[in-house]
Amino acid sequence: MAEVSLDFEAPIDTVWALLADGWSYAAWVVGASHIRDVDAGWPSPGTRIHHSVGPWPLTIADVTEVVTCEPKRLLELDARLWPAGAARITFTLRARSEAVTEVRMTERAVRGPSALLPSFVQDAMLVPRNRETLHRLHALARGKS
């Protein structure tokens, strides 16, 4: 399982507000190029972000669905990207102080051809991408706090 973490210079409320804003995902998720729609009630379990991935005009339309949501603590997603498969992505938040939040992101392929790759190959592909994703999210959170 690919795992990265970063201490954000932002309060947990600010970080959670970004995770809870499905329309913001294309601004910080590496590879997401366009948000087409966000279900009402996001991020309640079962709600979805309808997104496109990749550079235009070669985009792939797919969805990411909330599996588990514990506000200001945990957000677990089922992110689809066919034909590659689907991944389980988990964001865990922990307040280290009033102004610092630890954000941990884990990802593993769970369906499709990507799930057949050994863990060390998945990690080699996902860790750099997810590290950049957290840096982008951190920059937005810092700008809002």
Contact 144/10 with Cβ under 8 angstroms?
Answer: yes
Check residue 22 and report its DSSP letter: G
Extract the tokens encoding 59: 């985009």
Extract the tokens encoding 3: 């795992």
Contacts with 56 (C-beta within 8 Å, 6 or more apart), sequence order: 33, 34
Strand partners, 76: 68, 90
Architecture of domain 2-144: 2-Layer Sandwich (3.30)
Contacts with 69 (C-beta within 8 Å, 6 or more apart), sequence order: 43, 44, 45, 75, 76
Locus of tokens 């060390």: 120
Give the separation between CA 123 and CA 2, rounded to whole angstroms. Answer: 5
Helices (H), 4-96: 12-19, 25-28
Q: What is the pLDDT along the chain (145 residues), one digit of tens a residue?
A: 899 999 999 999 999 999 999 999 999 999 899 999 999 999 999 999 999 988 888 899 999 999 999 999 999 999 998 778 899 999 999 999 999 999 999 999 999 999 999 999 999 999 999 999 999 999 999 998 8
Strand partners, 64: 49, 79
Specify the pairing of strand 101-111 against strand 85-95: antiparallel
Alpha carbon of 87 to those of 15, 78, 126: distances in Å? 22, 6, 11
Q: What is the pTM of this model?
A: 0.94
